[in-house]
Structure 1
Amino acid sequence: MVATDGLPIIKLGVEDAIGGFALSTEARWNQTEEDWRVFLHEGVVFGIRDGARLVATAALLPYSGNNAWISMVLVSATHRRRGLATRLVDACLETARKNGLTSWLDATPDGAAVYGPLGFTSTLQLQRLKLVRPARAEAPPSSSATIDALRARDRRGTGFDRTALLSAIAQRSGSRIVSANGAIALVRDGRTARHIGPLFSDHAAAALALVDTIARSETGPLLIDAIVSQAAFLEGLTVSGWTIERPFQRMRFGPATAMAEEMPFAVAGPEFG
């Protein structure tokens, strides 16, 4: 076994997007190379190399109001169970501490078992659901939704100003913002499936109707990360053919600094919150 305890933690640059993408692909995550460029351009990404190969990463993406999102905590299968992820998360937390930031993340059950002892406390529970569509679709719905409308609703639903993030994603080829009857959502490409979220709505019926409209205009698989406390929405998704893939636990390290005015129905993804 090769000793890796002494491998240094380094800060990664935009040229490391391909290496990061290789790690998330190995883990069968849905991120694209463009997602990695957001983290590398807007945040701080720590990494560990073994020789020339990038074998572990963790990212800290700053948001407004002294908040930051920790994600992309990845270790190659060849280097797991050697403490690399803990070292990288510690680097993120130390950076957040020095800058007075409260840290957030969405953890898998295994991850939650690691982050709890580090001092993270649980907040929201999420469920990732998947829908596989036939290879035919209706015409995409017409919508006059704007990035400003999505940004405003996102701030009400999260307590964060994520203008830079939402604008970067919405401007990508294949992304669209869809709204109807008081509901609004962002739809974007992923590596293996299109992703719906964040999604905000005045009530569950409108949220479900918007998801159905989006789904009927898509030809490939779809993912959505729904908030468990939106029980009617979650039940409506499963009744309409969505299957639950895995849970996520939202966790916070530090004082609560963001006051949301409403509860979203689905989030932007565990990598973005």
Structure 2
Amino acid sequence: MVATDDVPVIQLGVEDAAAGLVLSTEAHWNQTEEDWRVFLHQGIVFGIRNGSQLVATAALLPYSGENAWISMVLVTASQRRRGFATRLVDACLEAARKRGLTSWLDATPDGAAVYGPLGFTPTLQLRRLRLEKSGQALAPAPSAAPRDALCERDRRAAGFDRTALLSAFAQRPGSRIISTKGAIALIRDGRTARHIGPLFANDAADALALVDAIARSENGPILLDAVASQDAFLAGLTTAGWTIERPFQRMRFGPATAAGEEVPFAVAGPEFG
């Protein structure tokens, strides 16, 4: 591995949103430029440049209750195997340590093999699923639900407050908060597919009914990051034609914080928790 200690780690600003999008697009991720602005407005994003080109990033997104999410760990293909990702994750961990925050992340299997030796502890597992759709929507959108109802359910599940994040999502063109039969979810635009999550329900049948209602009202591909322990929900999705794209392992660095009162059926995304 090439020594890179002389390459400075810098903190990025809002003006770097478009450059960040170039990196996540190269990796075939679903983030939009608006997602990057969330990290740059609400969090701390570290980066490395090669001349004027942004070649690597990692973000720390603080939440309430002494929690923070690490994500957007990206290195352009020509600059990999130089230790950039490790340096940037270390910068995020140091920023979290100074603020007294427990750090969380959702890792791919390859990422989990790297983060484990750094001191991250596995917690729950996720499964990313995709539904391919084309053509006209078959039904109208389900009933709209108030943002406060989603934020309250999210607080109960996460154990901490993410009102700022969910509000940023809800305010975007194309975003909808919808509910039916006691289930509630947010659906928003992504770069290549719409994304459902977070999604909360009293049971798997209600969660599946809401997903079906959403899917019938959409006319393009949809992604969803399901909690793997929700077995009946996962089974129902695959029976309905959703395909599992990849697993994620949720991991924690630091002491455990307040636990949520319920387990969601789908999360806001591996980049947001």
Give the TM-score taking structure 1 as reference length: 0.98
Following superposition, which runs of at least 4 residues in structure 1 exceed 3 angstroms of deviation? Answer: 1-5
Match of 2:159? Answer: 159
Distance apart, 1:9 and its partner CA:
0.2
**Could you tell me which residue of structure 1 aligns to residue 259 of structure 2?**
259
Q: Cα RMSD between the aligned structures?
A: 1.2
- Match of residue 112 from structure 2: 112
Aligned length: 273
Alpha-carbon distance, 1:49 to partner: 0.2
Matched, 1:234 2:216: no
Given that residues 74 and 85 in structure 1 are in contact (C-alpha distance below 8 angstroms), is that contact kept between their aligned partners in structure 2?
A: yes
Q: Is 1:60 paired with 2:63?
A: no
Cα displacement (A) at 1:20? 0.2
3-state secondary structure, aligned to 2:35: helix
Q: Is the 8 A contact 1:5 1:82 kept in 2?
A: no
- The alignment-based identity, stated in percent, is 77
Gaps of 5+ in 2: none
Q: Which residue of 2 aligns with 1:46?
A: 46
Which residues in structure 2 correspond to 1:78-227 (within 5 Å)?
78-227=78-227
Q: Report the residue type matching 1:201 in the other structure.
A: A
Alpha-carbon shift at residue 7 of structure 1 (Å): 1.1
The residue aligned with 1:269 is 269
**Counterpart amino acid of 1:219?**
N
**SS of equivalent to 1:225:** strand
Judge conservation of contact 1:138–1:217 (CA < 8 Å) in 2.
yes
Cα distance between partner residues in 2 of 1:230 and 1:198: 14
What amino acid is the match of 1:249? Q
Relative to the length of structure 2, the TM-score reads 0.98
- Deviation per CA, 1:8-42, whole angstroms, max 9, x where unpaired? 00000000000000000000000000000000000
Paired residues of 2:60 and 2:92 also in contact (CA < 8 A): yes
Pick closer, same or farther for the CA change 1:2–1:91 going to 2, 3 Å: closer
Letter in 1 for 2:208: L
Structure 1 regions of 5+ residues with no counterpart?
none
Matched, 1:243 2:252: no
